Amino acid sequence: MEIKIVELFAGVGGFRIGLERADADVFKTIWSNQFEPATKVQHASRIYVKRFGTNNHINEDIALVKSQNIPIHDMLVGGFPCQDYSVARTLSQAAGLEGKKGVLWWQIYRIIKDKGSSKPKILFLENVDRLLLSPAKQRGRDFAIILQSLSDLGYVAEWRVINAADYGMPQRRRRTYILAYSKESTLGRSMKDPTEWLFDEGVFAKAFPIHDYNETFPLCMNKLKSYSEMDLADLSEEFNKNNKLKPFENAGIMMEGAYWTYKSVPNYNGKYVTLGDVLVKGEDRKYLTDDFYVSEEDLPKWNYLKGAKHEPRKKSNGEIFYYNEGGMCFPDALDKASRTIITSEGGATASRFKHVIKDPIDGRLRRLLPIELERLNMFPDNHTLGENDTKRAFFMGNALVCGIITNIGKELVSRMKGGEI
């Protein structure tokens, strides 16, 4: 049996890599889309095509792609950006509700809605960890809109904020992952008891175990809507309007417009991969050219940017204030998982947030190579080869950790073989 996949906002293919590692015979990507509106040259799409071929890969604004041109599929996957998900009522009530233009969540919503009874059984989505708290002035509103949208479309859902390093992976990268199941599907029907699903029976619970339920923090039911007639525009305006609550913890489930949430603690006893483990050795050191080393001339800049600060600065009106900033580990520690890769990781210019290590072989300070950044995200070596080093680092700053996807994929395969999908 196969699980046919549509991959939206594909980037350089992290979801596809992770799922195919889980079981390439089961997970079959039948259609993919990647488009970057701000650039003329479609670098990420170019890498995707280079690795996976042109067949059914669409490099076009997803908003212009008609839903009927997207094939029927079993699972929709994608990492969509954290944007403004607010909903407004249109001037013509006949037109109903609309989200802001350019917000990619509403393209996911449109595609699923247009598929009707042929909608995918499973949605597997990724976003930044701050999604649960955005926007700052109305915490949780955006995530509430997403959950209610999923409920309106006929899904139940579970979510988890996962730091890859907590489960032995080589990078401290926290992301929000959402799994939604059609209510009519076997998986959807099996989600009944919130506590059992969250801690023992759920896909996240099996793939990424957490410590047992602590009754000191009760798992309570919460309603997304404060009254039954509330639509998405009302929810957008009213949810946590006074901003007094932190509605969503790092784990939870949603069923029939209600949600249960819990501050989970990872339960992992396996091997931990460190930054030092991914550094190039032997033949791979051929990629280590002089421009990756920190020069003696630039070292003071790096020391300043990485160091602690308590210094007077001047406001635009001439007023003096003191700027305070804590120091960062410099060079980066090799005996633990790396810090989060950022999109500006590439380039030789000194930066507070770029990784700099003391090379364990030659003892010199240097930046990380593109191949090492790929390894921190658990991509194949040289997956992004063909673009310049700065662009390759940018890709990895935007990417997910493939190992997270693989673990989820393995659990879904297990469920499928057990007749649950």
Render 253-304 in DSSP notation, one character per residue. Answer: EEETTEEEEE---B---S----GGGGS--GGGGGG--GGGBPPTTTHHHHHH
State yes or no: pLDDT of 315 exceeds 80: yes
pLDDT in tens, 335-382: 999 999 999 999 999 999 999 999 999 999 999 999 999 999 999 999
Residue 103 has pLDDT above 90, yes or no: no
In the block, tokens 């950790």 appear at: 401
Residues carrying an active site annotation: 82
Amino acid at 336: K
What would the mean pLDDT of 269-289 be, rounded to a whole number? 98
Q: Where does the chain hold its CATH 3.40.50.150 domain(s)? A: 3-269+401-417
Length of the chain: 421
- Of 82-86, 198-202, 250-254, 408-412, the one with minimum mean pLDDT is 82-86
Look at residue 188 in the predicted model and tell me its pLDDT. 97
Report pLDDT for 214.
Answer: 83
Please tell me the predicted confidence (pLDDT) of residue 288: 97
Instruction: Pick the more confident residue, 136 or 53.
Output: 53
What is the three-class DSSP state of 156?
A: strand
| Alpha helices in 199-247, H assignment, sequence order | 203-207, 232-238
CA-to-CA separations, 40 to 7, 82, 216, 345, 386, in angstroms, rounded? 22, 23, 54, 22, 17
The string of pLDDT tens digits covering residues 376-405 is 999 999 999 999 999 999 999 999 999 999
Token duo for residue 40: 């003329």
Instruction: Please report the pLDDT score of residue 404 as a whole number.
Output: 98
Per-residue pLDDT at 208 exceeds 90: yes
pLDDT at 92: 43
Provide the mean pLDDT of the chain: 94
Q: Can you identify the CATH homologous superfamily of domain 3-269+401-417?
A: Vaccinia Virus protein VP39 (3.40.50.150)
Q: How confident is the model at residue 95 (pLDDT cuts 50, 70, 90)?
A: very low
- Other C-beta atoms within 10 Å of 330: how many? 16
Question: What is residue 216's predicted lDDT score, i.e. its pLDDT?
Answer: 75
pLDDT tens for residues 291-307?
999 999 999 999 999 99
Helix (H) or strand (E) holding 179, with range, is strand 174-182
Give the pLDDT confidence score for residue 101 in this predicted structure.
Answer: 52
DSSP state of 420: -
Helix 402-417 vs helix 14-23: crossing angle, to nearest 10: 40
pLDDT tens digits along 232-251: 999 999 999 998 888 999 99
Among the ranges 5-9, 133-137, 214-218, 229-233, which has the highest mean pLDDT value? 5-9
Q: What is the pLDDT of residue 388?
A: 97
Are residues 174 and 162 in contact, defined by beta-carbon separation less than 8 angstroms? Answer: yes
Helix, strand, coil percentages (3-state) for the chain, rounded to 5, are 35, 20, 45
pLDDT above 70: residue 25 = yes
Q: What is the pLDDT of residue 136?
A: 87
Only one residue has tokens 């770029």, namely 354
pLDDT value for 1: 87
Task: Please state the rounded mean pLDDT for residues 61-67.
Answer: 96
pLDDT at 57: 98
